[in-house]
A = this chain, B = another copy of it.
């Protein structure tokens, strides 16, 4: 049997790859260099699905993902994945903790580990990399005693050793990823639906009226966000995740009424609500 191909925002060792592996450990994973390239791979059939970050990502492509879903692509969200991002201090096997001269990572992973680095390696030279995965790769070939801040997948992939675990300044960083596909997911009874819409004018109360539709039917909102639209400065795009499936009778009726009060309306997909594995 052919393995399913899944495109993801690479290179190998990124947090997105970790999310894709967790989602389908059996799949054939193909790295792509940008969110747009992941979407193209799915559009052209190179991959059946694509995994990209959508919230709170180090990899800095969340705006790309939202722009793609709102404006550019017909792909839908068929799954959401939630990952605790853990930053470890990785070294070449056998490197001693004392005497590290250089620490490599993505600037945001470095910023998140600032207190640890200042406390333990105040004299280390901090060097930026394009991703935490690239940092681990560079560290492995460095000519100096070096470490990298990265995840355990990158450690495994590049043969690095974990010198210190969870060195980020705060509790783990939860990042949300989505799986994009030509179709979203059938109703499971425990679903979420992601919407994007715009009003024709900025009259106060329009959002309140829309939320009233949801409230009257006891539809819970998992997320709400307003984003400045690309086209007209000041006309916001509202992003809402609600609990329920777009094909559920109650939801589909409410969505019809909401759509009628908007100037732009898009369902970005319905998919099973992520459940923390027990």
Contact partners of A255 in chain B: CB under 8 A: none
> Assuming A134-B128, A208-B212, A220-B204, is B228 touching A225 (CB within 8 A)?
no
Docked-complex contact B225 and A224, CB < 8 angstroms: yes
- Give the contacting residue for A126; candidates B63, B130, B214, B216; CB below 8 A: B130
> Is A129 engaged at the interface, CB distance under 8 Å to the other chain?
yes
Bound-complex Cα distance A106 to B106 (A)? 9
- The interface size of chain A toward B, counting residues with CB under 8 Å, comes to 46
Number of identical monomers bound together in the oligomeric complex:
2
Docked complex: A148-203 residues within 8 A CB-CB of B: 170-171, 174, 202
A230 is contacted by which of B60, B61, B129, B171 (Cβ under 8 Å)? B171
Residue A219 at the chain B interface, CB threshold 8 Å:
yes
Determine the residue in chain B with the shortest Cβ distance to A205: B215
- A95 contacts chain B at the CB level, 8 A cutoff: no
Using A107-B106, A128-B130, A171-B230 as known contacts, say yes or no to A208 and B215 having CB atoms under 8 A apart: yes
Across-interface contacts of A220 in B (CB, < 8 A):
202, 204
Report the separation of the CA atoms of residues A63 and B173 in the bound assembly, to the nearest whole angstrom: 11
Most chain B beta carbons < 10 A, residue from A64, A134, A204: A204
Instruction: Please tell me which stretch of A18-26, A45-53, A108-116 contacts chain B, meaning at least 4 of its Cβ atoms lie within 8 angstroms of it.
Output: A108-116
Nearest CB to that of A239 among chain B residues?
A: B225
Q: How far is the CB of A212 from chain B (nearest CB, A)?
A: 6
Assess the A60–B108 pair: CB atoms within 8 A: yes
Residue A5 interfacial (CB < 8 Å): no
5 A-B pairs (CB sep. < 8 Å): A204-B220, A204-B221, A207-B224, A224-B224, A225-B225
| Leading 7 A-B pairs by shortest Cβ distance | A205-B215, A208-B215, A208-B211, A128-B128, A60-B108, A204-B220, A128-B130
